[in-house]
Chains A and B, each alone.
Chain A
Amino acid sequence: MKVKVLCRNPDDYVRETTRDIQRVPRNYDPTLHPFEVPREYTRALNATKLERVFAKPFVASLDGHRDGISCITKHAKSLSTIISGACDGEVKVWNLPRQECLRTVQAHEGFVRGICSRFCGTSFFTVGDDKTIKQWNWEAPGYGVREEPINTILGKAVFTGIDHHQREGTFVTCGQTVDIWDEQRSSPIRSFSWGVDSFSCVRYNPVETELLASCASDRSVVLYDTRESAPLRKVIMQLRSNTLCWNPMEAYYFTCANEDYNLYTYDIRHLDVPVTVHMDHVSAVLDVDYSPTGREFVSASFDKTIRIFPKDKGHSREVYHTKRMQHVICVRWSADNKYVLSGSDEMNIRLWKANASEKLGLLSAREKAATHYNKKLIEKFQHHPQVRRIARHRHLPGDILKQKRELREMREAQRRKEQNVRKHSKPGSVPLLTEKEKHVVAVVE
């Protein structure tokens, strides 16, 4: 007779001392783990609920400005520093981790219209309603020394925006024309205009550094090459675009924030139809900024909310609002991809988490593993109705909700009307237009 009976030595299964970690022998045999799918589903449901429970995106509010914030810019080199300009001409430099103002400069009379940081992070430029461009040192002057700009340029007309070249000592401003300046000269190297009287925003392409895009008041977005003497092409839309932002990773895409409550992502190679129309705002969109990864962007709107859109989705994944936040004028995504900054009418700069339920600070390895696991679970079961319902739900202020419903009704009515018109006209005379095609009027070369 040969016999063997299971006999385990407890020493192999129990920790030796109380200072050891517990022994956890595993056996991945599927028959020892019944109800794999229902249990995973339950976990996914719990993870989704917890994600909503922990969604506390608001981090801090930076107050100190005495008028509405008109523009914000990140430091080119330092993650913790930002500059903001207000409607009373004041510029403040902030330290984000300490949430305090480092320096205050009375830069302009009237609005500060635009700020940009030099690529090396030694100085920054401001433009204002007083028709001047001023260059400031990032270092604060010593005690008792007056705040003086390094350089001041007096222009002929009001400047509405400014952006600096990525590598060279040139910058671009917009106003009545789009001007390209050399830092050493007091007059523009080149001026572009294309039959319009004002531009609201101009941005350098982050990759193809000689390329420029600007939003004009004649409802167009114009592209320029600084090496050429004339603008490249423009796309005219049904309503005016306020600002635009290039995708930093796929720099042939840019997104513009439009007055018609939508954002449009264009491919510069095919301007006739936008790649994506991002709809969710219920009022004019005022500012847009891409995340450094180029996968998402944040938009600020007149409807007192900011929204985060995935770059290829038509609807937002997140909406942030507070009771006290008024019309949001400007918004920026921080360079470490973790925070979003918004400046609004009621003189505050707000710091938000880019991922609402993310835990801040250092995570232990187990915490990291757990968050990854939960994320994967939510992704796996995202189409189940229960999970989707919880994951999608966002609280909205009453008036925005009301406006949303109203808008939906209006769109439905328009659609119905169009249908009726099509029904009662000659076949083919009223073509079916997709949402993307509707908003582009013309592309001019």
Chain B
Amino acid sequence: MAAVTPEVLTSTHVEKMKKKKLPKRYWEETEKTDQSQRRPEEEQGKAGQNQNKSTVKEKSLKRKNGESLEKKDPFPGEAPIPQKQLQKFQRGKKCKVPAGARERLKEAIAISEAMSEHAQKQAARYDLLLPEDAGFLEGDEDEDTNTISQADIADAVDITSGSKYFNLHLSQFGPYRLDYSRTGRNLLVGGKKGHVACIDWQTKDLKCEMNVMETVNDVNSLCTLRSASRWLHTEAMFAVAQKRWLYIYDSKGVELHCVKKFNDVLRMQFLPYHFLLATASATGFLQYLDVSIGKEVAAICTKMGRLDVMAQNPHNAVIHLGHPNGTVSLWSPNQKESLVKMLCHRGAVRSLAVDKTGTYMVTSGLDRKLKVYDIRAFKPLHSCFLPAGASCLSLSQRGLLSAATGEIVQVYQNVLGSNPVSKPYMAHRLRGQIWGLAYCPFEDVLGIGHGEGFTSMIVPGAGEPNFDALDTNPYRSHKQRQEWEVKALLEKVQPELIGLDPGQLSKVDQASFEQRHKEQIEALGFDPLAKDKFKPRTKKKGRSSAGAIEKRKRKVAHEDQRDEIRQSVQERTEREKELKEKSNEKKLGNKSTLDRFRK
């Protein structure tokens, strides 16, 4: 603070000069305002002290008078929690006590409700303790944020953050695809002409680099697995979709597996909680590889042709595929048909992205439109026309959308929601055609793979500021990683649990008895509740003739329905009787002898 104040003071005395404004640090203004605010406060404080003195005197007087010494709490009770924060941690609706419930059930419901409310409050309170705030970028008056260049931003921010804007000039093996590891520490780039490199991008430490001497279609950094051998102290493993087959390398670049069952793979997605690698191939197959046991879980023939647009829904692990006919289809490994098919574009779908809450899907197509869908209701929210069309889309953790339009990367804010897309939040021009876009998790960084190499771009406000160390910890030690790995493998979610609603398992199965019975018959192949048919015993001395058997069968036929039949027959006869009586009365009534006197 001491370093800043003199500058502020001088600036107030110096006359106005036409000079390019130095980019200000974001804290400068706040400090200033703080100071200006502080003065009256101090004055107030002095006054307050005076007041305090007087109150002390009064109190001492009161004490002499023998009044109670108890101080009143000015803020009684617990600190209130904002409703918005509470809402964030709401899980499901409150359980209603059914009418006529037993006392024990009522008690159990009350207890569980109280406990969940307590947990919700605790979690909401913890939000105040989160250490980091999200980044932001604000322009001056009549300054568009999208005109601010990356160099300016890098100059304005601190050195560490400034170093996050960098270029890797790799023009030889061009255009590059990329993937960040889940913790955001490692970056994997794969050039179309076979160049694959694994980099710790913050320290710019190259972990491995090689040329696979083949076309590379896609790269994916898998999560960790059992280390192949002991000297392997780094853990990452990555998959590379090469010209024919899928290869898995470790972080040193040693080829671990060549999976020949997975051929002509174009795109890959890794489902981290299921340990599944989903691949989409040129032959139209969607395949799932369980990387923890190395087995193919499912192979689905989509019959949709070449699959080169793929995204995963991080909320429910459903795979979204975009097709040349403008449809987007949703897949789970448990079903041979798609879960949902949506017609999204008039032309082919070029790119897809799904946000982390699983609520919104953003698509771009050859019709040069960018559309936002609500995928809970499968409804379009809004669409906009991009003159160049977007070839790649990516959504950040905090909901910034980046779109690659030709050689320019545009970043949009507040896309997810009902308000339509306006001008971009940021833009950055590159030299080559853009091939890959990915946000780095937990960092304000957008990685761009293009024809001339790789560019790391600073996008303030993109990353989630506070990570959960038990889930993904960028600063984890070797030991912590090992422990996490064991835990993660232990709670690997089975592929059978992938569906549109991941919370379905906690809901009450309200399928009717008939439905469940039908399912049971389907599963077993026979009806377990069916009564076996009556089989009359064979008797001797000619009593088992066909006629006799038939007679005996008749005796027990429809035994279970006999009561009902008897009752219904009785009712019917009674009704008929009544009707008859009524009609008789009517007839008699018509023919009364006194009728002739009536007019």
Contact = CB atoms under 8 A, between A and B. Distances in A.
Q: Tell me if chain B binds chain A.
A: yes
B463 A6 contact: yes
B469 A2 contact: no
A62 B456 CA distance: 73
Nearest to B472: A32
Given A2-B138, A35-B273, A37-B503, A27 B26 contact: no
A55 interface: no
A373 to B, nearest CB: 13
Contacts of B505: 37-38, 41, 384
Contact of B273 (A22, A27, A34, A384): A34
Contact of A32 (B160, B273, B471): B471
Interface string B76-118: 0000000000001101000000000000000000000000000
B387 interface: no
B26 A2 contact: yes
Nearest to B559: A423
A39 B491 contact: yes
B465 interface: yes
B444 A2 contact: no
Contact of A26 (B164, B357, B469, B497): B469
A20 B135 CA distance: 31
Interface residues of A, number: 35
Interface in B465-495: 465-471, 473-475, 477, 479-480, 490-494
A1 B148 contact: yes
A191 interface: no
B70 interface: no
A77 B140 CA distance: 82
B33 to A, nearest CB: 12
B503 A36 contact: yes
Contacts of B131: 12, 25
A6 B134 contact: yes
A209 to B, nearest CB: 31
Contacts, number: 150
Contact of B356 (A3, A23, A31, A46): A31
Contacts of A2: 24, 26, 29, 136-138
Interface of A is mostly: loop
A42 interface: yes
Contact of B91 (A5, A22, A30, A41): A30
Contact of A3 (B26, B88, B273, B494): B26
Given A1-B138, A3-B460, A36-B503, A22 B480 contact: yes
Contacts of A4: 26, 133, 135-137, 157, 460
A13 interface: yes
B567 interface: no
A6 B152 contact: no
Given A28-B468, A32-B464, A35-B493, A5 B164 contact: yes
B308 interface: no
Nearest to A42: B491
B250 interface: no
Contacts of A1: 23-24, 137-140, 143, 145, 148, 152, 156
A3 B153 contact: yes
Interface residues of B, number: 71
Contacts of B502: 34-38
Contacts of B444: 5-6
Contact of B494 (A27, A34, A42, A384): A42
Contacts of A7: 157-158, 160-161
Given A1-B156, A5-B164, A31-B356, A10 B475 contact: yes
A287 B135 CA distance: 71
A36 B315 CA distance: 10
A1 B152 CA distance: 10
Contacts of A43: 490-491
A366 interface: no
Contact of A42 (B136, B140, B148, B492): B492
A407 interface: no
A125 B349 CA distance: 90
Nearest to B28: A2
Contacts of B492: 42
Contacts of B164: 5
A8 interface: yes
Interface in A23-66: 23-39, 41-43, 46
A86 to B, nearest CB: 44
Interface of B: 23-24, 26, 29, 88-89, 91, 123, 126-127, 130-140, 143, 145, 148, 152-153, 156-158, 160-161, 164, 273, 314-317, 356-358, 442-444, 458, 460, 463-471, 473-475, 477, 479-480, 490-494, 497, 502-506
Closest 7 CB pairs of A and B: A13-B475, A5-B161, A24-B469, A28-B123, A27-B466, A2-B138, A38-B493
Given A22-B480, A25-B468, A33-B471, 9 more contacts: A1-B137, A2-B137, A23-B469, A24-B473, A25-B469, A29-B464, A29-B468, A32-B467, A36-B503
24 contacts: A1-B23, A1-B137, A1-B156, A3-B138, A5-B157, A5-B458, A6-B134, A6-B444, A13-B473, A14-B477, A23-B475, A24-B473, A25-B467, A27-B468, A28-B468, A31-B356, A32-B464, A33-B468, A37-B506, A38-B494, A38-B502, A41-B497, A42-B490, A43-B490
